[in-house]
Amino acid sequence: MGVLTAFLPSLNILYILLSAAFAVFVQQVILRFPKRKLTIKINNIGAFLASFSYTLYLTHYPILSLFKNFGFKKYDSIDGKGVLVYVGVLLVCLLIAYVIYLPFEKRTNYYKNLIKSNLR
């Protein structure tokens, strides 16, 4: 193995090359439009989650802190109970973020237009 490492570039250069390759891959995935029923469904789910992603970003940490304060702990191993708790907490975070999204972020354009019309 020592003979091969003499011919390889440094680890930082390998990280840069991997990052560039991944960036090109992500760009190509974004530019392709879904054509099959399954890929359209996955795209719709992604668009739905993206619609309230900022609200989820803002609310997930306080929700996780509440769970921690109520005694839920991080699991060190992957077992059935740990996966069940993880999925439950994930669903609670998504649900609370969506409920908060509905009256505020979803209606941003409405309120923006209302403010603009009142300023005229």
Residue ranges of the domains in the chain? 1-32, 38-119
- Residue 6, pLDDT above cutoff 60: yes
Predicted TM-score of the model (pTM):
0.67
**Mean per-residue pLDDT of the chain:** 88
Of the chain, the end-to-end C-alpha distance in Å amounts to: 73
Q: What is the pLDDT of residues 36-95, one digit of tens each?
A: 899 899 889 999 999 999 999 999 999 999 999 998 877 777 888 888 888 999 999 999
Pure H helices in the chain: 2-5, 11-31, 37-51, 53-69, 80-101, 108-119
What tokens were used for 67? 């769970």
Contacts of 67 (CB under 8 A, 6+ apart): 89, 92
Output the pLDDT for position 102.
Answer: 93
Mean pLDDT across 8-31: 88
